[in-house]
Amino acid sequence: MKIFVGLISLIAVLLVALAGPLYKFDVIDLATAFAGFKFGLFAGIAALVLLAIQLLFKRNTASIGSALISAVLAITAIAIPLSMMNTAKNVPPIHDISTDLVNPPAFVAIAPLRADAPNPAAYDGIETAEQQRIGYPDLQTLRYDQTQPELIAATTQAIENLGWELVNIDTDKGIVEATDTTAWFGFKDDVVVRVTDNENERLVDIRSKSRIGGSDLGKNAARIHGFIKELDNVLAK
């Protein structure tokens, strides 16, 4: 039974862990990847139940090492999907985040790259803006004293530091565009940064949007927060 429990635990964690890479490299589609999450969760629960039965009724067939390894694998397979489900419940079910909800920065060079994406380049609209106001009230237009060229240069450096793919730099229009590819699933999310003059200060707005998916599990808001922190670090040097 020790081998059987260990095998179920291993299968459970593989179903969860490999869902992302298999989708990323076009081996399976997204629906199948998410199905892997579900079955991995169920397999992890089953493994824990079997492990409990083994420890209660067939203790002589178990060892501390094998039981510990099986438990860790099963708990991991359960914890990852449950964590994602919990995150989904606690963030707005949106995937288009902007610091300017009235006039969000528009994608220019990136727009053609999103032509076949399930989520269009256009802003998602009033309903999304209202949900963002509730979920991420801290995301607002930034104000800086630096010149527009300085901020464009700092934005470019921050994007490079974050490892995003630079797509477009237009100093005259005050626009920088980039694409961030997530590590696990390989999702491509696009970012546009807009720098505009406002008398004695410059206004910086950032927009991040997923190409696929309904809820982004808070990823785009986190990306904007990360960019702001990196931009401030660059400007402080």
- Are 63 and 138 found together in one domain? no
User: What values do phi and psi take at 185, rounded to 5?
Assistant: -95, -15
For the chain, what percent of residues have pLDDT higher than 90? 91
Q: What gap in Å lies between CA 40 and CA 17, rounded to an integer?
A: 9
Residues 6+ apart with CB under 8 A from 184: 20, 21, 24
Residues 6+ apart with CB under 8 A from 212: 30, 117, 118, 119, 187, 188
Q: From 47, 75, 90, give the residue that closes a domain.
A: 90
pLDDT at 57: 81
pLDDT (average), residues 98-122: 97
pLDDT in tens, 5-49: 999 999 999 999 999 999 999 999 999 999 999 999 999 999 999
- Are 76 and 147 found together in one domain? no
**pLDDT confidence band for 58 (50 / 70 / 90):** confident
**Helix, strand, or coil here: 206?**
strand
pLDDT at 65: 87
The count of domains in the chain is 2
- Are 49 and 101 found together in one domain? no
pLDDT (average), residues 157-165: 98
How many other CB atoms are found less than 10 A from the CB of residue 40? 25
pLDDT of 111 over the 80 cut: yes
What mean pLDDT value characterizes the chain?
95
> Long-range contacts: 174-182, Cβ < 8 Å, 24+?
174/148, 175/105, 175/108, 176/152, 177/107, 177/108, 177/109, 177/110, 179/110, 179/113, 180/208, 180/223, 182/219
Residue 99: both structure tokens together: 């610091």
pLDDT of 61 over the 90 cut: no
Residue 208: both structure tokens together: 């991040």
- Are 102 and 85 found together in one domain? no
pLDDT in tens, 221-231: 999 999 999 99
- Are 100 and 196 found together in one domain? yes
**pLDDT confidence band for 64 (50 / 70 / 90):** confident
- Are 86 and 179 found together in one domain? no
pLDDT at 85: 95
pLDDT at 56: 84
- Are 113 and 200 found together in one domain? yes
CA dihedral 129, 133, 137, 139 (to 10 degrees): 0
- Are 71 and 132 found together in one domain? no
pLDDT of 59 over the 80 cut: no
**pLDDT confidence band for 2 (50 / 70 / 90):** confident
Per the structure, the complete domain to which residue 166 belongs is given by: 96-236
pLDDT (average), residues 41-61: 89
Its sign, for the CA torsion 48, 35, 210, 127, is negative
pLDDT of 194 over the 80 cut: yes
pLDDT of 137 over the 80 cut: yes
pLDDT at 199: 87
